[in-house]
Amino acid sequence: MKLRRALPIAAAVAMVAVPVGAATAASPGTLAAPDIPVANVQAHLGQLQTIATNNGGNRAHGRPGHKASVDYIKAKLDAAGYTTRIQQFSYNGATGYNLIADWPGGDANNVIMAGGHLDSVNAGPGINDNGTGSAGLLEVALTVAKDQVQTSKHLRFGWWGAEELGLIGSTYYVNSLTSAEKSVLKGYLNFDMTGSPNPGYFVYSSSGQPSGSQALENLLKQGFSAAGVQTEPTNVGGRSDHAAFARAGVPTGGTFSGAETTKTQAQATKWGGTAGRAFDPCYHRSCDNSGNINTTSLDRHTDAMAYTIYSLIGA
Ligand code: DPN
Ligand code: CA
Ligand code: ZN
């Protein structure tokens, strides 16, 4: 376990991490958030690309590449000790799949969820949209398992189907919950596009967003600033799967590296990359493949994801 960033003392006291194979534990009063190795996230993206290539070039709802993506992630989580289930739904005459994974332990009345969509559009393999969020979530989940983290709050992950057709899978999941099951959800973090080739470092704005959480926004921002990365708030509105949770009153947040809109000169000065060019010129196109990834962005967004999740489950 690499020791990197100190978490708030309250979080550290509440969370007991058991370092596996580490010679020394974190010093008292600190708990290290993991530095997620970006190479591991890239390896998952390589597998998702292979799945698309072997299944007609995409991982879309109703196509075999989506189910194969679910099976890949589920097998990794099962082997790591997660309790997983596949939730089926029907849309547009095809069966859709959500993958839900629970890390055993923690307070069942205080549940933190993190998720993102695993389907692509029909046009291509969807490696940035949203292989990146999906692969990052998988690697953070595997790190929790490797560290055998004993959480204070209960931790659950979700990989949604049919987001590209209108947030179908995440909405189905939220609608399937009883009001008691909804009320124990204390936060939902969404990751949809984190490796854009001309990247931005956006954190979902909590203002003007129903159920947007200032606390989650602040933690995600801290995750980036701990690595020296400046962020901007962005109004994602109802454009991704957090929307279903927000409608149910669950506090939401997330990060985003940008899609079809154009990077400004000020943003290029701050973040590098090319002003006047889209954050992701291959958004929803066949060229959203393994080559369509900025590795630094993938690394930073995934590390901020880990920082935030580790902070929340221990607090
Ligand atoms: N929802 C994304 C898509 O799948 O097309 C794009 C997006 C993600 C837009 C996050 C805004 C924020
Ligand atoms: Ca990293
Ligand atoms: Zn997306």
User: Domain coordinates of the chain in residue numbers?
Assistant: 38-313
Our answer on whether the CB atom of 236 is closer than 6 Å to any ligand 1 atom is yes
For residue 138, pLDDT beyond 50: yes
What SS3 class is residue 149? coil
Q: How far does Cα 192 stand from its chain's mean position?
A: 7
Q: Which of 129, 171, 242, 257 to mutate to test the pocket of ligand 1 (most atoms within 8 A of CB)?
A: 129
Measured in Å, residue 48 CA sits from the centre of ligand 3 at: 15
Mind listing the pLDDT tens digit for each residue in 239-280? 999 999 999 999 999 999 999 999 999 999 999 999 999 999
Percentage of the residues of the chain whose pLDDT score is greater than 90: 88
Per the CB < 8 A criterion, the answer to whether 14 and 315 are in contact is yes
Measured in Å, residue 3 CA sits from the centre of ligand 2 at: 12
Task: State which fold the 38-313 domain adopts.
Answer: Aminopeptidase (3.40.630)
For residue 16, pLDDT beyond 90: no
- Residue 24: predicted pLDDT: 37
- Residue 235: predicted pLDDT: 94
- Mean pLDDT, residues 290-313 taken together: 98
For residue 27, pLDDT beyond 90: no
Atom of ligand 1 minimally distant from the CA of 117: 4
Per the CB < 8 A criterion, the answer to whether 162 and 121 are in contact is no
- Mean pLDDT, residues 96-121 taken together: 98
Measured in Å, residue 265 CA sits from the centre of ligand 3 at: 25
User: Which residues on adjacent β-strands are paired with residue 101?
Assistant: 84, 157
Tokens standing for 234?
Answer: 């962005």
Pseudo-torsion of CA 35, 142, 306, 271, nearest 10°?
70
Our answer on whether the CB atom of 190 is closer than 6 Å to any ligand 1 atom is no
Measured in Å, residue 111 CA sits from the centre of ligand 1 at: 25
Total number of residues shown for the chain: 315
- Mean pLDDT, residues 104-124 taken together: 98
- Residue 209: predicted pLDDT: 84
How far is 259 from 49, CA to CA, in rounded Å? 19
Residue 210 — pLDDT band, cuts 50, 70, 90? confident
Atom of ligand 1 minimally distant from the CA of 193: 8
For residue 8, pLDDT beyond 90: no
Our answer on whether the CB atom of 259 is closer than 6 Å to any ligand 1 atom is yes
Our answer on whether the CB atom of 309 is closer than 6 Å to any ligand 1 atom is no
For residue 291, pLDDT beyond 90: yes
For residue 7, pLDDT beyond 90: no
Our answer on whether the CB atom of 139 is closer than 6 Å to any ligand 1 atom is no
Per the CB < 8 A criterion, the answer to whether 136 and 43 are in contact is no
Per the CB < 8 A criterion, the answer to whether 41 and 32 are in contact is no
- Mean pLDDT, residues 143-159 taken together: 97
Assess whether 163 carries a catalytic annotation. yes
Helix (H) or strand (E) holding 101: strand 94-103
Residue 311 — pLDDT band, cuts 50, 70, 90? very high
Atom of ligand 1 minimally distant from the CA of 241: 1
Tokens standing for 47?
Answer: 């597998």
Do strands 83-91 and 185-191 pair parallel, antiparallel, or not at all (unpaired)? unpaired
- Residue 164: predicted pLDDT: 98
How far is 160 from 100, CA to CA, in rounded Å? 9
Our answer on whether the CB atom of 241 is closer than 6 Å to any ligand 1 atom is no
Per the CB < 8 A criterion, the answer to whether 25 and 6 are in contact is no
Our answer on whether the CB atom of 2 is closer than 6 Å to any ligand 1 atom is no
- Residue 201: predicted pLDDT: 98
Measured in Å, residue 233 CA sits from the centre of ligand 1 at: 15
Identified catalytic residue from 163, 164, 232, 260: 163
- Residue 208: predicted pLDDT: 84
Q: Which ligand is nearest to the CA of 118?
A: 3
Q: How far does Cα 155 stand from its chain's mean position?
A: 13
